[in-house]
Structures are given as structure tokens and as C-alpha cells.
Amino acid sequence: MEKNKVDGREASKEKKDRRQSLCPVSGKCGGCQFVDMPYKAQLKRKQRQAEQLLKEYGKVRPIIGMEEPAHYRNKVHAVFAFQKGRGIVSGIYQERSHRVVPVESCLLENQKAGEIIQSVRQLAKDFKLKAYDEDSGYGLLRHVLVRVGHITGEIMVVLVLGSPILPSKKNFVNELCKLHPEITTILINVNNKRTSMVLGEKEQVIYGKGYIEDELCGRRFKISAKSFYQVNSVQTEALYAKAAEYARLTGKETVVDAYCGIGTIALAVAGQAGKVIGVELNRDAVRDAVTNARVNQIKNADFYQNDAGRFLTQMADAGEKVDVVFMDPPRSGSTEEFLDALIRIRPERVVYISCEPETLARDLKYLTGKSGYRVQEMTPVDMFPFTGNIEVVVKMQYCGKEKN
């Protein structure tokens, strides 16, 4: 009896919280953890967390936050599903499940992208397209991805389909562009696998040039559908500025940009270095990086498609000299192969950009324990307001004498 009372009280409190929440689906959608926490408190919490995980390696400087944290995401994704009584819905997976929570608008996402997703859903209804069903594998429309160029305003829409044919393709494109003339390109991506990955291999451009361009740090970047591009453009500039400050380039250095994506860091610092070498696994991203060097008339940058660990090992085997390494691995962090090669090449400075402080702490432990590298300082940058994700940039210096 007592327990039921407590449960009842909790349930009504939860209901009240939900009513007061800035977001109608908070608590259901796994997208953000701190949607109702004042922004200053979010920053404080992230600062404390970064310090707890990293302070044993060096000083953690105050986190760089945003002035206007809402609607920062330039890449917006929605999944489609059929729900009884509602028809086709678009939204986000519920946390740790494959149930779709319908989303009408979102505090994180670029608003224009959100509106386009609503239109795609409405057109799907009008054109009687079926949502893909993950259990049976039947249906057509799986996901939609919208990318918006922060400075250029160019917009890419990627329709992810379970099979390659979009019925009445031309009309669908015409209608969508009529509703949103700001769309500059539309692609179909075919994903016919039973997978939680959003994008499949094959793609087909059905409107425009097949990619968008944006500007970052005064450079122009080509961005393909499958290439990684930082989702928060405002904070990316702050992050890169801090990374460049930590690299202390003088114009002569040989620089490696490992896990370089479309070459943004390499090309942002190329003017302050002798030579920059980017390495990246994703073929499309490397292609974009090569184009981006040409478009920005940067002649001292080379890009290679390879595993960063293997590439760095080859450089170490060849006895290549490198002065500064930027490394920006995915959430899983770097690898022992990469770190061992880094120690062998022994650049003067290493700037480690991490989107996952736990794997960063693991890699710092390995690096500082085995070699003469010391962390000089670290700065968290809030790339993902309202979520629990923390980004940190680390300045490391070779201080001599390896430990045994």
C-alpha cells in the first residue's frame, strides 16, 4: 500500500516534470540528457566530469560554452515507422530500443532541417510511400538525413530507402523543392541490410550536385552524404582555434592530421605549417579532403585513405620526421598500434581532440606511462549542449627521457 502511494506520487511528479519540460518527448527520446537543466549548470557538470576523469594527467582549463546553445545541430536525422492509428511517423529511436518516438520539433536541431523532415513525412503520406519495417524488412522509407551549411545555407536531403526505386521520383522532388526552395541537393541512399547503421553503400543523386559546401575557419569545404562533418559549426571553430593554439605552429612544421575527415583541421592550419598530411579511413571523406585542398588553393596538403594506425606505423618504419600530430579519433579512441607508432615518430607536440573522455583517459594513460610525453593542459569545448557528451582538446609535449 505504502509502495503504491510512493509510486503514485513519483508518477504524478514525472507527469508534472514532463508537462513543464521544454521538450514534449523528453524522457522518452534518448537524444539529450540535460534538456531541462540551465545551460550554466550543464557546463559546470561537464567541467566537473572532465576534471574527475582527466585531472591526474594535467590541468583542465574552463570549458568553452556557447552563447546561444539551442538548435546547434547542422545535421538532423529522423527514422520512419508505421504506427497504428497515426500512419507514417518520423522521429528518433527511444533510448536503448528500436521503438520510434515521433518528434515534431527538437531543441537541438536546426529548425529549417526539422521543417524539411516534417514535409518529407507529409509527402510520404501523400505519395502513399510505406515506411520500412525493421522486423519484416518490408517497406521503402527508412530514414531521412538533412545537412545544412552553417554559413552557405546550402541544404542536402538524403532519403534512405530499403530498395532503390522511389515511385514518382520526379514529382516527389518537385513537390519537396516547391515547399523548400532552399534545398540545394537531394540524394537517395539505398540501405537494404538489417542493420542499425543509417546509411548504406549505394547512393544516387536525384537533384542538384550531390553534396553541399560550407565555410569553416575562413575555408570552403565540400561535404558528401557519407563524410563526417562536425555537427556544431559554431563550436567547431572554437575547438579548432584552441587546437591550433596548442600546436604552436611557426610555418615550418611537418604536421599530421590523423582521423582527418574531410580535411578540416589540416586545411585550417596549412597556412601556418610547412606541410600537412591527412589520413582518414572513409573513402568519400578523403575524396572531399583532396577537393577541399584544391578549392582552397592549398598546395602543401596531402591526404591518404588508410587506417590511421597502419599509416602512422608505415611512417615510423620509413623514418619520417613529423613535428606536430593532431589526432581526432572516433569515440572508441585511438589504438595501441597508432600510439606505439606515435611514440616511435616522436613529434614535438601532440594535440589530441577527443569526443569521449573515457577513451581519452585510457589513451593518455598509455601515452604518458610509456613515453616521454606529458600533458600540458586540456580544454573541454561544449560541442553538444543538452546532451551528456563531452569534447576535450589536449596539448601534449615531448619532454624527453622515456620511462621504462
Q: Which residues are catalytic?
A: 355
308 in contact with ligand SAH (CB under 6 A): yes
For position 340 contacting ligand SAH by CB under 6 A, the verdict is: no
Nearer to ligand SAH, 156 or 176 (CB): 156
| Three cell numbers, residue 191 | 540501405
Q: Is 307 in the site for ligand SAH (CB under 6 A)?
A: yes
384 grid coordinates: 553538444
Residue 352 found at the interface with ligand SAH (CB under 6 A): no
Q: How far is the CB of 239 from ligand SAH (least distance, A)?
A: 8
Grid cell at residue 188: 537517395
Residue 83 beta carbon to ligand SAH: minimum distance, rounded to whole angstroms: 34
- Residue 365 and residue 373: Cα distance in Å, rounded? 10
Per-residue burial over 31-40, b = 16 or more CB atoms within 10 Å of its CB, e = otherwise: bbebbbeebe
- Which lies closer to ligand SAH via its Cβ, residue 175 or residue 307? 307
Calculate the CA 199 to chain-centre distance.
14
Q: Is 383 in the site for ligand SAH (CB under 6 A)?
A: no
Q: How far is the CB of 165 from ligand SAH (least distance, A)?
A: 29
221 binds ligand SAH, rule: CB under 6 A: no
Q: Which stretch binds ligand SAH (CB under 6 A): 109-117, 161-169, 222-230, 269-277?
A: 222-230
Q: Which is nearer to ligand SAH, 65 or 278 (CB)?
A: 278
Distance in Å, CB of 132 to ligand SAH, minimum: 25
* Near ligand SAH in 278-297, by CB under 6 A: 279-282, 285
Taking CB under 6 A as the rule, does residue 392 contact ligand SAH?
no
Crossing angle (nearest 10°) for helices 169-179 and 111-126: 140
User: Helix, strand, or coil here: 358?
Assistant: helix
Spatial CB neighbours of 103, under 8 Å, sequence gap ≥ 6: 25, 29, 78, 90, 91, 92
Closest CA to 394 of 348, 351, 359, 356: 351
Integer Cα distance of 363 and 365 in angstroms: 5
- Binding residues for ligand SAH, how many (CB under 6 A)? 17
DSSP of 159-179:
EEESSS--TTHHHHHHHHHHH
> Smaller CB distance to ligand SAH: residue 240 or 373?
240
Neighbours of 65 (CB within 10 A): 19
Q: Is 336 in the site for ligand SAH (CB under 6 A)?
A: no
In 21-110, alpha helices (H):
39-54
264 makes contact with ligand SAH (CB under 6 A): yes
CB closer to ligand SAH, 133 vs 307: 307
Residue with cell 518529407: 120
Residue 186 Cβ, how far from ligand SAH at the closest point, in Å?
23
- Do residues 29 and 92 touch, judged by C-beta distance below 8 A? yes
- Nearest distance from residue 154's CB to ligand SAH, in Å? 17
Between residues 183 and 260, which has the closer beta carbon with respect to ligand SAH? Answer: 260
Residue 261 vs 357, nearer CB to ligand SAH: 261
Tell me how far CA of residue 23 lies from CA of 20, 329, 349, in angstroms. 8, 32, 43
Name the grid cell of 157: 536531403
**What residues numbered 228-257 form the site for ligand SAH, per CB under 6 A?**
228-230
Q: Rounded to whole angstroms, how far apart are CA atoms 180 and 178? A: 6
Interface residues toward ligand SAH, by CB under 6 A: 228-230, 259-261, 264-265, 279-282, 285, 307-308, 328, 330
